[in-house]
Amino acid sequence: MQKYINPPKQDWEGLLQRPPVDVSGLFDSVATVLDDIAREGDTAIVRYSEKFDGYAGTNLVVSPEEFDIAEKQIPSELKQAIQRAAYNIDSFHKAQWQTAVKVETEPGVTCWQKSVPIEKVGLYIPGGTAPLFSTVLMLGIPARIAGCEEIVMCTPPGKTGIVNPAILYAAKTAGIKKVFKVGGIQAIGAMAYGTQTVPKVYKIFGPGNRYVTAAKQLITIRGTAIDMPAGPSEVLVMADDSANPAFVAADLLSQAEHGADSQVILLTNSPELLDATMAEIDKQVRQLPREAGASSALSNSKAFLLPSVDVMMEMSNHYAPEHLILSVRNAGQLAERVRNAGSVFIGHYSPESAGDYASGTNHTLPTHGCARAYSGVNLSSFLKKISFQEITGEGLKSLGPVIEKMAEAEELLGHKQAVSIRLEHLKS
């Protein structure tokens, strides 16, 4: 990690630059795959699955028997862990339901909103060197709670056509029944356009590599919604002299191990904590199976020695991290000052890993500074809010002249007429 001591604020923007994630250079090749899928359906899916994933089979559907076999292959301890995580995720997301409130904005004019589930949603689950079965829970459970009528899940199989057993067990736990052996660009295209086998959906969720990211960006232009812009994982840890350097180092490495394009940031006002944490990073990184990727990520990462916790919070809000860990005194009070972050972990015993797996919050979060404007996935992500209004005759008599005057000022006389004709009728 690169170390900086109290850099001036005008330098923050440059120092906090993330590794570049521009995927526009992939658009032409990705668009070709998407166009082929839109035109050829399953034929293109099979062709590209063999080309990109090495799966030459034509069977794209995970059968009930495959679910059963996968469940038998999962160790009981992992089953229990998945079930407990699912319970917590279910509890947290169920609590996010909001009661509709009718508001009489003036006599005879009543307005309200109603939350309605998105009918058809698609979930993409990577299945490469790190099969993200936890993401199945994070996406499938809120989709089920929201009441989405059709939940479609795509995940790449191995070359023999077998899907990772933990992914299938998590899907069954989340209540997902439609799972397809399709990965990468072809999965995004299949769910966006629909094929002879894979249903078309209205919104697609889930992480992926650069090609998946490019595909998701392209389908938004063509009319399919996505969860949010996605980029490499990141964490920012704020730590003072009350923090445990071993904890801080472990938290930083937990995100660095995602790969070379990830970034981790340490902010501290303690020179001793900074030095001790750097030493711990050097020691702990050697123990990771993914040492090479973590070490590469550390080369993109920064540690800042700043004069105070106030300045640390200011820099954190400027950076807008995906994950923010507050390993400081009075962390709960400091958390009230967070303005830009995907998910916040308060205190010395709240590792980011808890949110990734089992505490109940969602781990599908905005990256690359998008936390300034985007929320992480939550129950509302699977809902749309429809506005309703009901106006009585007396209400229109009162409000109508206001509408007429405004419509006339905008020179939209058809709008005015829609009110005027009703007011004339009410006079008769």
Q: Is the pLDDT of residue 43 over 90?
A: yes
173-229 pLDDT, tens digit each: 999 999 999 999 999 999 999 999 999 999 999 998 889 999 999 999 999 999 987
List 280, 322, 352, 404, catalytic entry? 322
Helices 133-146 and 165-174, axial angle in degrees (round to 10): 20
Residues that constitute the known binding site for Zn(2+): 255, 258, 356, 415
Q: Write out pLDDT tens, residues 64-91.
A: 999 999 999 999 999 999 999 999 999 9
Q: Is 280 a catalytic site residue? A: no
CATH superfamily of 24-97+117-226: Nitrogenase molybdenum iron protein domain (3.40.50.1980)
**For 128-148, how does the pLDDT look when each residue is reduced to its tens digit (9 = 90+)?**
667 889 999 999 999 999 999
Lowest mean pLDDT among 4-13, 82-91, 225-234, 315-324: 225-234
Q: pLDDT tens digits for 377-398?
A: 999 999 999 999 999 999 999 9
Cα maximum dimension of the chain = 87
Options 3.40.190.10, 1.10.10.10, 3.40.50.1980, 3.60.20.10; which CATH number does 2-19+231-360 get?
3.40.50.1980
3-state DSSP assignment of residue 182? coil
Terminal CA-to-CA distance of the chain, rounded, Å?
A: 80
Residue 322 designated active-site: yes
Domain ranges of the chain: 2-19+231-360, 24-97+117-226, 392-427
Q: What residues pair up with 242 in beta bridges, in sequence order?
A: none
Measured from the Cβ of residue 96, the count of other Cβ atoms closer than 10 Å reads: 14
Q: Sorting pLDDT into bands at 50, 70 and 90, what band is 35?
A: very high
* Cα–Cα dist 24/217, whole Å: 9
pLDDT score for 129: 67
CA 314/CA 184 separation, integer angstroms:
38
Q: What's the token pair of residue 137?
A: 């829970």
Place of tokens 């969602």: 362
The length of the chain in residues reads 428
Long-range contacts (CB closer than 8 Å, 24 or more residues apart) made by 354-357: 355/323, 356/134, 357/85, 357/134
Query: Please, what is the average pLDDT of the chain?
Result: 95
- pLDDT exceeds 70 at position 304: yes
Same fold, 2-19+231-360 and 24-97+117-226: yes
CA distance 238 to 326: 5
Which residue in the list 323, 352, 363, 404 is annotated as catalytic? Answer: 323
